[in-house]
Structure 1
Amino acid sequence: MRRTLAEVLGVDVGLLQSGMGGVAGAELACAVSNAGAAGCAGGYKLIGGALSAMLARLTAGTDRPVGVNLIPEVVGPEELDRQVAQVLDETPEHVHLSFFGMPADAVFERVGATGRPMVVQVGSVADGVHAAERGAVVVAQGVEAGGHLLGTAKRDDLVAALRAQLPDACLVASGGIGSPAEAGRALAAGADGVLLGTAFVVAHESRAHAYFKAAVTAADESDTVITDVYEIGWPGRRHRVLATAATADPGQAKKFIGRTVVEGKPYLVPRFSSAVPTDATTGRIEEMAMYCGRSCSAISDEISAADVVAAFARVLPGAAAVSDKKG
């Protein structure tokens, strides 16, 4: 029997927050989960002590369902295996695993054996079917999305195609969703819930740099471009970003243009780095990778994560549970 996202994850609102590396720290994830949706902290390339530090903040900040996002494409199989092991060993059962792109079948088996929910974001029907057959919640990412693009299909087309093949699967729509009305359109296409990224970039609890947040709220969809210039650290993948001097002139030198700090460790930031500017980043922020979906046209204010969840709760499956609790 088909279950909604809210039912699968045990949340009040059928909404996933994207586990955006750098931007989605434990603070944002906990704020989203404590508001009744499913927050998600970006694991990205964190491993060992750095990952443990983030996981400790995550588990201390909420006892509600919350996720950790990992990216098979940017770490090798051994590193991903270590990351998965750390999450499973160092967190309680209310923490689920989320993957951007397809992990190996052995990962599906390992996580499945624990009974924890697993969320997998895909960009094609074939990958979506593969993930669903292994018990995962499937996030269908359309090209309207900000960040790295997994496919070439429009959101609702991909959702509808997946629903036709997977009538009982839990499907989540991602890409270009900046308003409750747009979320409603995704549900009409066959989704059981939605994933939001750009809407949470500008949340108070987001670790996005202040310049990045202001640029998103000031932008509309015509200010975004699909490009592959931000390749250092994540080669071979197109991404939707705000247009910058770097996207306008990809022939510039790949010299260092800033500095940042990740879990207490300093790093230099080269031009064309895939790393986003965070509140710990200094330098030429205006040239850095500011991932932004077409949903920016509907986003004009920096608000709390709880306010984002509340705005979408009116239209998403599971919203009735929120109303009942407040009544």
Structure 2
Amino acid sequence: MRSSVATVLGTEVALLQSGMGGVAGTELACAVSNAGAAGCVGGYKLMGEALSAVLGRLAAGTSRPVGVNFIPEVVGPDDLARQVEQVLAETPPHVHVSLFGMPEAAVFERVAASGRVLVVQVGTVEDGVLAAERGAVVVAQGIEAGGHLLGVLRRDELVARLRDRLPSACVVAAGGIGSPADAERAVAAGADGVLLGTAFVVARESWAHPQFKAAVCAAEGADTVITGVYEIGWPGRRHRVLATPVTENPGQPKKFIGRTSVEDRSYLVPRFSAAVPTVATTGRIEEMAMYCGLSCDSVSDETSAADVVAGFAAVLPAAAQYVDMG
């Protein structure tokens, strides 16, 4: 027996929103959760007072299941432990922890001891099996995804392999899901729900820069590239982005090309930065990292987060829907 991710998280729809740093602020996360899915705010490197401000807005914005996403390989084990402890201490039980990539064993143990749900995104069968054995919801990311890539397998192949190894685990599909038909294929491959990123980049509540949103709406999958050039702040991890003058000519100097603001703190943006252009960013937006998955084929207009959720609800496993594996 296995359950829909809607049952595990307590949502109405088996749909998760990706906790995209910079793009996924509290407005987007709360809008997705209030629409019946699982929103997620991008915590990235935030901690201390800055993270407290985000957590306060998140708890005030929705009483429904919602997540906070962190990236183990970017912050390291000590800072990740502090971030997780802060979430557990400062938020109510309906807030779950979401991780992009595998943490150390202590994080699994700490979240489990708290009674909260832990969602872990992986790109390999081995990591997925380990995360599931330690009690996490597993998000299986295929190479169709926008943003940083955790593996080399296509989405449905990874889902199918994980389902074969994990007949009872909760497995969520991610990567290249832009339409209900894409979601149906992922469920047919064995997924218990789906995670969307690119479709929410263009949501009205997203903090993506208007130029970023327009570029995603105008793009097709062939306009994306897998590269390693946007490495400042997140080195050594391939990523899928829209082709830009920087991906086309990576030999340019690492000069500052803009400025952005995060929780009222101003930062210079160098060329090759991993940071996305947001509504608080100025400068050469067209040269910045615009993460975008193959699902852009099905994304053509800015819409509300609630409309995105409603468009997928009918094809996804419902809450309390169980699948008999016998």
Shorter-chain TM range is over 0.9
Alignment partner, residue 70 of structure 1? 70
Where do 1:1-327 residues align within 5 Å?
Answer: 1-318=1-318
In structure 1, distance between residues paired with 2:178 and 2:282: 28
In structure 2, distance between residues paired with 1:196 and 1:20: 10
Alignment partner, residue 324 of structure 1? none
Residue 297 of structure 2 aligns with an amino acid whose one-letter code is: S
Cα pair 2:224 2:292 within 8 Å, conserved: yes
Q: 1:94-129, CA deviations, whole angstroms, 9 ceiling, x for partnerless residues?
A: 000000000000000000001111100000000000
Query: What is the CA-CA distance between 1:271 and the residue it aligns to?
Result: 0.2
Residue 107 of structure 2 aligns with an amino acid whose one-letter code is: V
Query: What is the CA-CA distance between 1:318 and the residue it aligns to?
Result: 1.3
TM-score, normalised with respect to structure 2: 0.98
Alignment partner, residue 325 of structure 1? none
Residue 270 of structure 1 aligns with an amino acid whose one-letter code is: P
Q: 1:232-283, CA deviations, whole angstroms, 9 ceiling, x for partnerless residues?
A: 0000000000000000011000000000000000000000000000000000
Secondary structure of the equivalent of 1:140? strand
Could you list the runs of 4 or more consecutive aligned residues of structure 1 that deviate by over 6 angstroms after TM superposition? none
Secondary structure of the equivalent of 1:76? helix
Cα pair 2:4 2:320 within 8 Å, conserved: no
Cα pair 1:209 1:278 within 8 Å, conserved: yes
Query: What is the CA-CA distance between 1:77 and the residue it aligns to?
Result: 1.3
Cα pair 2:10 2:319 within 8 Å, conserved: no
Cα pair 1:204 1:302 within 8 Å, conserved: yes
In structure 1, distance between residues paired with 2:3 and 2:318: 11
Q: Which segments of 5 or more consecutive residues in structure 1 lack a partner in the other structure?
A: 322-327
TM-score, normalised with respect to structure 1: 0.97
Secondary structure of the equivalent of 1:40? strand
Residue 236 of structure 2 aligns with an amino acid whose one-letter code is: G
Secondary structure of the equivalent of 2:130? helix
Cα pair 1:313 1:319 within 8 Å, conserved: no
Cα pair 2:187 2:193 within 8 Å, conserved: yes
Cα pair 1:173 1:191 within 8 Å, conserved: yes
In structure 2, distance between residues paired with 1:83 and 1:115: 17
In structure 2, distance between residues paired with 1:100 and 1:77: 13
Query: What is the CA-CA distance between 1:320 and the residue it aligns to?
Result: 9.6
Residue 292 of structure 1 aligns with an amino acid whose one-letter code is: C
Residue 108 of structure 1 aligns with an amino acid whose one-letter code is: F
Query: What is the CA-CA distance between 1:78 and the residue it aligns to?
Result: 1.2
Secondary structure of the equivalent of 1:129? helix
Secondary structure of the equivalent of 1:192? coil
Count of residues paired in the alignment: 321
Residue 245 of structure 2 aligns with an amino acid whose one-letter code is: A
Cα pair 2:29 2:66 within 8 Å, conserved: yes
* Aligned-residue identity in percent: 76
In structure 2, distance between residues paired with 1:213 and 1:50: 26
Instruction: Give the root-mean-square deviation of aligned CA atoms.
Output: 0.9
Secondary structure of the equivalent of 1:44? coil
In structure 2, distance between residues paired with 1:81 and 1:194: 27
Query: What is the CA-CA distance between 1:179 and the residue it aligns to?
Result: 0.0
In structure 1, distance between residues paired with 2:101 and 2:78: 16
In structure 1, distance between residues paired with 2:118 and 2:232: 29
Residue 64 of structure 2 aligns with an amino acid whose one-letter code is: R
Query: What is the CA-CA distance between 1:3 and the residue it aligns to?
Result: 1.1
